[in-house]
Amino acid sequence: MQKIVLMLSLVLFLCRPIFADLNEKVADRLWVSTTIINELTNAPEGGLPKSLIQRAECVAVIPGVKKVAFGFGGRYGRGVVSCKQDQGTGKWGPPSMIALGGGSFGFQFGGQSIDLVMLFMTPDSLKYLLRDKVTIGGDVAAAVGPLGREASAQTSASLSSEILAYSRSRGLFAGISIKGAVLRPDKDANANLYKRSVNARELLDQGKVEIPEVAKKFIDMLTSVSN
């Protein structure tokens, strides 16, 4: 019995750095995502007018998406998404942590890191976030998001596409094509954030889960830019 207790103690001791590291990563993703939304909507030129976020059903931010290509391409990143609970009041629900992956093939070389923002523009677009995974450009239509004055106009992209996508690289914002990328819930990060197993429907659709303290600045930022 004593040996079993010692072994369990050792396992818990070895796992502590892993749990602590995940805590820091989740908190960092939320903080950086808040900063990205703030800078995107306050860019003097070529930014995203708040009117589009006001119209959006959900907003996803994935900081530091890595894109690599050596004969074939791939991309991966982890971030956060939140959905409006009430379009009338602009109230945003508890965030869900998400992961992005995917690949493209072709003759290409190089690599880059970008910050990615996705606006889910239609009520139906929420249902895709409740799946175990969704392929952008396959399961759900996506378009390059308009910027600056283009975003103020009633462009066909902003009217008909379910997702508008934006990127930031080296401080500059631009629209981006994310066709073929796969979006899925980050279950480990959600369990870490909410201290229990929680699914995307509880967070994004029902919205009855209390928002953790570490996530409140992200939700407050979305509220401030959509009111």
- The structure tokens 């009633």 sit at 154
Least confident interval from 91-105, 159-173, 179-193: 159-173
Cα distance between residue 106 and residue 15, in whole Å: 40
pTM for this predicted structure: 0.80
Cα-atom radius of gyration of the chain, to the nearest Å? Answer: 19
For 186: left if phi > 0, alpha if psi spans -120 to 50, otherwise beta; the answer is beta
Q: Is the pLDDT of residue 109 over 50?
A: no
Q: Is the pLDDT of residue 127 over 70?
A: yes
**DSSP label at residue 136:** B
Beta-bridged to residue 92, according to DSSP, are 84
**pLDDT tier for residue 152 given thresholds of 50, 70 and 90:** low
Which whole number is the average pLDDT over 174-188? 81
Q: Is the pLDDT of residue 88 over 80?
A: no
Q: Is the pLDDT of residue 155 over 60?
A: no
Q: What average pLDDT is seen over the chain?
A: 77
Q: Which residues have C-beta within 8 Å of that of residue 75, sequence separation ≥ 6? A: 65, 66, 67, 68, 100, 101, 102, 103, 181
Phi, psi of 32 (to 5 degrees): -65, -40
Cβ count within 10 A of residue 150? 14
Q: Cβ distance 76 to 65 under 8 Å?
A: yes
Q: Cβ distance 145 to 48 under 8 Å?
A: yes
pLDDT digits (tens, 9 = 90+) for 2-51: 444 334 343 333 444 444 576 888 999 999 999 999 988 887 766 777 88
Q: Is the pLDDT of residue 193 over 80?
A: yes
**pLDDT tier for residue 107 given thresholds of 50, 70 and 90:** very low
User: What DSSP assignment string belongs to 44-57?
Assistant: SSS---HHHHHH-S
**pLDDT tier for residue 76 given thresholds of 50, 70 and 90:** confident
User: Domain segments of the chain: what residues?
Assistant: 2-225
pLDDT at res. 15: 42
How many H helices and E strands in the chain?
A: 8, 8
pLDDT at res. 22: 64
Q: Look at residue 12 and give its three-state secondary structure.
A: helix
**DSSP label at residue 213:** G
Q: Is the pLDDT of residue 168 over 90?
A: no
pLDDT at res. 13: 39
pLDDT digits (tens, 9 = 90+) for 202-215: 999 877 899 999 99
Which one has a higher pLDDT value, 56 or 111? 56
Q: Kindly list the distances between the CA atom of residue 64 and the CA atoms of 14, 61, 97, 170, 226, in Å, as whole numbers in the listed order.
A: 29, 10, 15, 11, 24
